[in-house]
Amino acid sequence: MPEAGVHLGSGKVRELYALDEARLLLTASDRISTFDVILPTEIPDKGRVLTGLSAFWFARTSDLVPNHLLALRDDGRTLECRRLVMLPIEVVVRGYLAGSGWKDYLATGAVCGHALPAGLRESDRLPQPLLTPATKAESGHDENIAAATAARLVGDGLYGEVERVALALYRFAAAHAEARGIILADTKFELGLDSEGTLVLGDEALTPDSSRFWPALGFAPGGPQPSYDKQYVRDYCESLGWDKTDPGPEIPAGVVAGTRARYIEAFELLTGIAFADYLADPQVVLR
Ligand SMILES: Nc1ncnc2c1ncn2[C@@H]1O[C@H](COP(=O)(O)OP(=O)(O)OP(=O)(O)O)[C@@H](O)[C@H]1O
Ligand SMILES: [Mg+2]
């Protein structure tokens, strides 16, 4: 029997357990949240997709930055990881103009204070990847903050390191994805410090919940792109005229199946591993 540990708390998607002073279990449920509201309907195997993909990337990026992964459990949804003191910020790296970055650009001609050329279209590739920090809200929506504010929150030296590491991770993953026909439009990282004060990548990484992945085939800037994330469920929720407050709507079986298929497709395209093979032996993503 694997050890279980003391329940520390629940995120929107993950359950956290303490194994001991130094180690945590992070179990990804099949919960899905849209507009920061957890929906009453689950997406079967979604937690396994997120965990398998995170472990896949952790195994391939440890030369860029150390990460919290210690072991992947055979349930395919639980990571044993090093317990970190998480930074009070999260960082988004944007290679393309989408989401809140696009809204910001429309309003100000810049993205979180990074000036950009005029005339860019929605979904356009940016001249270079940009880092946009945000506060980690205890509840509710994360808020974008200026780089100077983020640097003040974590310290100048450490913020510089966060910037360097996040851009390197983005560049590595974007190149990997591009070779497999996927555009990594943007992605969010959460980092923390270990007991020695070393910067370590934590949480999930480069999954459809933390990233916008677009099929490269048919990429057409000038509007939103179809994506492998929860956009499909968001569109369904919005079509109901839901006011985006708790409780969220039940999701019908057809939309559940369509969402599950998109998560699994992203897993298979990015890893080159059949999802059935992952279910049979999760360790395949680490090799
Ligand atoms: N190695 C680690 N040590 C300590 N805390 C961690 C570590 N890795 C991740 N965490 C924290 O565990 C939690 C993960 O749970 P989850 O992803 O469900 O939270 P959430 O951020 O509320 O949800 P969402 O991702 O939908 O915003 C986050 O608060 C994250 O910062
Ligand atoms: Mg999270």
Q: How far apart are CA 270 and CA 260, in angstroms?
A: 16
Q: Please name the residues in contact with 11: beta carbons below 8 A apart, sequence gap of 6 or more.
A: none
Q: How far apart are CA 265 and CA 272, in angstroms?
A: 10
Q: 117 burial class (0-12, 13-18, 19+ CB within 10 angstroms)?
A: exposed
Measured in Å, residue 203 CA sits from the centre of ligand 2 at: 7
Strand partners, 90: 134
Six token digits for residue 197:
């004060």
Q: Which ligand sits nearest to residue 190's alpha carbon? A: 1
Measured in Å, residue 120 CA sits from the centre of ligand 2 at: 30
Q: How far apart are CA 194 and CA 123, in angstroms?
A: 37
Q: Which residues line ligand 1 (CB under 6 A)?
A: 11-14, 16, 24, 26, 33, 68, 81-84, 86, 190, 192, 202-203
Measured in Å, residue 15 CA sits from the centre of ligand 2 at: 10
Residue 212's CB is within 10 A of a number of other CB atoms, namely 24
**Contact assessment for residue 250 and residue 220, using Cβ atoms and an 8 Å cutoff:** no
**Contact assessment for residue 230 and residue 258, using Cβ atoms and an 8 Å cutoff:** no
- Which residue is closest in CA terms to ligand 1's atom 12? 203
Q: Which of ligand 1's atoms lies nearest the C-alpha of 16? A: 12
Cis peptide upstream of residue 247 (ω within 30 degrees of 0): yes
Residue type, 206: L
Q: CA dihedral in degrees (107, 113, 115, 118; nearest 10)?
A: -10
Measured in Å, residue 222 CA sits from the centre of ligand 2 at: 30
Q: Which ligand sits nearest to residue 137's alpha carbon? A: 1
pLDDT score for 141: 72
Q: Which ligand sits nearest to residue 12's alpha carbon? A: 1
Measured in Å, residue 118 CA sits from the centre of ligand 2 at: 34
Measured in Å, residue 77 CA sits from the centre of ligand 2 at: 14
Q: Which of ligand 1's atoms lies nearest the C-alpha of 190? A: 31
- Max Cα–Cα distance, the chain, nearest Å: 59
pLDDT in tens, 143-167: 899 999 999 999 999 999 999 999 9
Which of 14, 77, 91 gets mutated to test ligand 1 (max ligand atoms within 8 A of its CB)?
Answer: 14
What is the pLDDT tens value at each position of the chain, 287 positions in all?
A: 567 889 999 999 999 999 999 999 999 999 999 999 999 999 999 999 999 999 999 999 999 999 999 999 999 999 999 999 999 999 999 999 999 999 999 999 999 999 999 999 999 999 999 999 999 876 667 889 999 999 999 999 999 999 999 999 999 999 999 999 999 999 999 999 999 999 999 999 999 999 999 999 999 999 999 999 898 999 999 999 999 999 999 999 999 999 999 999 999 999 999 999 999 999 999 99
